[in-house]
Chains A and B, each alone.
Chain A
């Protein structure tokens, strides 16, 4: 475990010192301040409107961070050549992958908590009342999504360079966000063959929409029942584990050559 935590700590120090997270946090703060002070379509400063946009931006920024950090961690070790010194230590490739995942998830997760705190803080200052239990559930489930996205990014990056894995992981996760929830509508209108293919994709692709509690938070709906909440989190753990296992299977016998980006 100490090796996994050490690998994760290096990821932390890398991300913190690169300052990507600070830039997004400042960007979100500027955006929220602008929303509060502007008067668009007569809804200027309306608290639910500010919280809605703020939460959307939090999801967007967390997605960008998860992809950009998750996709670069392993290819960066190869392109810098640091992989050689690292794997010459008694670190297994599984420990390396899990450590990278843990480091990326924890740092993006913490950044996301900061995004939420900022959005909730600004909205509450405008008189919005925060449904605490649902808000905590929303943050926890969002952390589950981050875990899945980082695992998908790392899975692709075990065999591809950072640009290629960002493209593929970005396309896959964006499809899961935007298209997968609407597949049942398409199935109803499609023929048997197309409907079957669509249903197969519906079951294969990750379902991020079940982790999204933004509407419940914004409208102050009741909290998700504990059993359902645990089931959704369990689904997230399952998807994450499958992606990391596939990544490890692709990485465990990968050959590293001098300065290679993808090995053989």
Chain B
């Protein structure tokens, strides 16, 4: 993303959600995208996914303009409050999603089964999604995001509302993706989670990056990410 600015019209004047955002994610990284509520994390993700056109600047995915549908061929996305077609069974949902990526025949069926196994929903795959718990819903949506074996996985608050077991599962899946050389770009308010899994961290405040770097260099030995986060945000608030 280069100089990405997004403003929303509002009765009291335009609201600036992103202000000249520059961001590059290197392949193979687990990239933690942090910031307080309203900092612009989700907006930045939505620009990256082509849901919102930037008011200024440009966003590219694998060299393609994000508004081109081909740019989304190699990505997977889990929204902040994942929901899906509850009238389908888990297996039907993944099968239909695989068709959107033009996967055919045996390859499609294999990806469906692999994705179900990855998120641990093999047993419940024939049940309607309407009967799933919150955690199962999160996992089937994650399976949907992984169906095309994406090179870049974008996760917006993937552990929000999950119990400790669910959070551990998500951490495991992120770890597996990293081991397979995939790039994971995720936002979270669970700073302890971020500390555990991220290689690189960027902190966003008022639509700008206020700190960015390898996790090891941002967080000094003996310090916690939470302390760094609070300090950086406080400094950014004073500066504005």
Interface presence of A226 (CB below 8 A): no
Residue B83 CB within 8 A of the other chain: yes
Q: Is B53 an interface residue (CB 8 A)?
A: yes
**Assembly CA distance A98 to B58 (angstroms):** 29
Residues of B within 8 A of A259 (CB): 81
Among residues 35 to 80 in chain B, which have CB atoms less than 8 Å away from a CB atom of chain A? 42, 46, 49-53, 69-70, 72-73, 75-80
Q: Is B73 within 8 A of A85, CB to CB?
A: no
Bound form: Cα–Cα A9–B69 in Å: 20
Q: 11 A-B residue contacts at CB 8 Å?
A: A13-B88, A14-B85, A85-B78, A85-B145, A89-B100, A90-B101, A255-B53, A256-B46, A256-B51, A258-B42, A258-B81
Decide if A255 touches B87 in the complex (CB within 8 Å).
Answer: no
Question: Is B20's beta carbon under 8 Å from chain A?
Answer: no
B141 sits at the interface (CB 8 A) = yes
Contacts of B102 in A (CB 8 A): 2-3
A residues less than 8 Å from B53 (CB atoms): 253, 255
A87 at the interface (CB under 8 A from B): yes
**Nearest-Cβ distance from residue B240 to partner chain A, whole angstroms:** 23
Interface size class of A (residues with CB under 8 A): 20 to 34
Q: Is the CB of B50 within 8 A of A80?
A: no
Please provide the chain A residues from 138 to 170 with a CB less than 8 Å away from any CB of chain B in the complex.
none
Task: Point out the residues of chain B lying under 8 angstroms from A17, CB to CB.
Answer: 87
CB-CB < 8 A to A258: which residues of B? 42, 80-81
Within 8 A of B (CB), among A231-264: 253, 255-259, 264
Instruction: State the Cβ distance, B63 to closest chain A Cβ, in Å.
Output: 15
B212 at interface, CB cutoff 8 A: no
Q: In the docked arrangement, what's the CA distance between A89 and B51, Å?
A: 11
In this assembly, does A6 line the interface, its C-beta being within 8 Å of a C-beta of chain B?
yes
Q: When chains A and B are docked, how far (Å) is the Cα of A91 from the Cα of B101?
A: 9
Are A85 and B87 in contact, CB atoms less than 8 angstroms apart?
no
Task: Assess A89 versus B87: contact at CB under 8 Å? Given A2-B99, A3-B100, A6-B96.
Answer: no
- Minimal beta-carbon separation of B166 from chain A (angstroms): 19
**How far does the Cβ of B59 sit from chain A's closest Cβ, in whole Å?**
14
State in angstroms the CA–CA spacing of A263 and B40 once bound together: 17
Residue of A nearest to B8 (CB): A264
Residues of B70-118 contacting chain A, CB below 8 A = 70, 72-73, 75-85, 87-88, 92, 96-97, 99-102
Task: With both chains docked as a complex, state the minimum distance between the C-beta of B68 and any C-beta of chain A, in angstroms.
Answer: 9
Q: Is there contact, CB below 8 Å, between B88 and A6?
A: no
A255: chain B residues within 8 A (beta carbon): 8, 51-53
A5 to B104, CA, bound (A): 14
B144 within 8 A of A: yes
Q: Beyond the given A10-B85, A84-B77, A85-B82, could you list 19 further A-B residue pairs with CB under 8 A, ordered by the A residue number?
A: A3-B99, A9-B96, A10-B88, A80-B83, A80-B84, A81-B81, A81-B82, A81-B83, A82-B84, A85-B77, A85-B84, A85-B144, A87-B49, A88-B49, A88-B76, A88-B77, A88-B79, A92-B69, A259-B81
Contact B81 A13 (CB under 8 A): no
Q: Provide the bound-state CA to CA distance between A225 and B144, in Å.
A: 51
Chain A positions 207-241 with a Cβ under 8 Å from a chain B Cβ: none
Q: For residues 82 through 106 of chain A, which have their beta carbon under 8 Å from a beta carbon of chain B?
A: 82, 84-85, 87-92
B69: chain A residues at CB < 8 Å are: 90-92
B81 neighbours in A (Cβ, 8 Å): 81, 258-259
Task: Find chain A residues with CB under 8 A from B101 CB.
Answer: 89-90
Give chain B residues whose Cβ lies under 8 Å from the Cβ of A6.
96, 99-100
- Name B6-25 residues within 8 Å CB distance of A: 8-9
Closest chain A residue to B80, Cβ basis: A258
A257 neighbours in B (Cβ, 8 Å): 8, 46, 52
The answer to whether A256 touches B99 (Cβ under 8 A) is no
| Minimum C-beta distance from A263 to chain B (A) | 9
Whole-angstrom CA separation of A92 from B50 in the bound complex: 10
Partner of B50, one of A3, A5, A13, A87: A87
With both beta carbons as reference points, the residue of chain B lying nearest to A14 in the complex is identified as B87
What B residues does A18 contact at CB under 8 A? 87
Which residue on A lies nearest to B43, using beta carbons? Answer: A257
How would residues 59 to 88 of chain A score, 1 for a CB under 8 Å from any chain B CB and 0 otherwise? 000000000000000000000111011011
Q: Which of A1-38 contact B (CB under 8 A)?
A: 2-3, 5-6, 9-10, 13-14, 17-18
